[in-house]
Amino acid sequence: MNLAASLAAAAAAAAFAAPASAQFAKPEDAIKYRQSAMVVMAHHLGRIGAMVNGRVPYDQQSAVANAEVFATLVKLPWVGFGPGTDKGRETRAKPEIWAEQAKFKEHQDKLQAEAPKLVAAARTNSPETLKVAFGPVAQVCKGCHDTYRKD
Amino acid sequence: MNLAASLAAAAAAAAFAAPASAQFAKPEDAIKYRQSAMVVMAHHLGRIGAMVNGRVPYDQQSAVANAEVFATLVKLPWVGFGPGTDKGRETRAKPEIWAEQAKFKEHQDKLQAEAPKLVAAARTNSPETLKVAFGPVAQVCKGCHDTYRKD
């Protein structure tokens, strides 16, 4: 899709869709968006993971940059889980997401609460502090995936 | 892929790949990453596009939020165009990207120069100013896509 078409699609989405999913023209767009945001988010967290696990040398600048991108991305995917977006494109999202909206949101909130702590930890320039902050973030990811994502 | 596997893959990538593409274990990972970053970036720019084109009501808070996410995302995809990432997964990226690295980088630099102007324009709370700043951003996107992206 070219830019004009993308913009037109976004405009159409906003103009015609129900408010809760107004950002997306079609469920498949919402699914593609949330999956894309997750891919980018996981990549940047993975960069920090490699560092705290000693697979790549510790580098504060990289830790801060990756944590900051992660903290921005961590806010994004959730709008892509609106009503009616349980199907429309291949997805590993379990139906429980839409059946347990409040519980699903708890996971989102936990993750968003941990992200600024990861940024702050990265800024201290202490590999140990970074590792301590990384653990709970990875746990929140895993907890949500174990519950709401198909294998 | 579960989180542990994702982190392991990222670590393996960083440990074994060549420096220029050290962030990715395989070309397909780099391609998936850059495509995902582009999807998220296009979505948020599209939200502003819908606003400046009058398809959705002007809303400063939304304009600023979308411009800020765009300004973060605009820095990301390029690392995914490293050497050897011209194939490995379905991609519309033209071979010219790898043949004309300096020219391709000019487009990236232009886009990254425009993004903060879009954020600043959004913060003025003037729909007209936002529209003026949006134009060049959309032009840079289009210029690069016309040259380096298959139809």
Read off the amino acid at residue B99.
A
Mean pLDDT on B72-99 = 97
Residue A7 to residue B46, Cβ atoms within 8 A: yes
Q: Measured between alpha carbons, how far is B91 from B134 in angstroms, rounded to an integer?
A: 27
Q: Contacts of residue B37 in chain A, CB cutoff 8 Å?
A: 36, 40
Q: Contacts of residue A114 in chain B, CB cutoff 8 Å?
A: none
Over the stretch B11-55, which tens digit does the pLDDT of each residue have? 444 433 334 346 899 999 999 999 999 999 999 999 999 999 999
Nearest chain A CA: its distance from B99 CA (Å): 23
Q: Which of residues 72-111 of A touch B (CB under 8 A)?
A: 72-73, 76
**Phi and psi torsions of B22, nearest 5°:** -60, -20
CA angle B13, B16, B22 (to 5 degrees): 50
Over the stretch B89-146, which tens digit does the pLDDT of each residue have? 999 999 999 999 999 999 999 999 999 999 999 999 999 999 999 999 999 999 999 9
- Token pair of A97 as six digits: 């997401």
Q: Is the distance from CB of B33 to CB of B46 less than 8 angstroms? A: no
Over the stretch A1-28, which tens digit does the pLDDT of each residue have? 455 555 555 544 443 333 434 689 999 9
pTM of the model: 0.87
- Asked if residue A102 has pLDDT above 70, the reply is yes
A6 contact partners, CB below 8 Å, separation of at least 6: B42, B46
Q: Is the distance from CB of A65 to CB of A120 less than 8 angstroms? A: no
- Asked if residue A137 has pLDDT above 70, the reply is yes
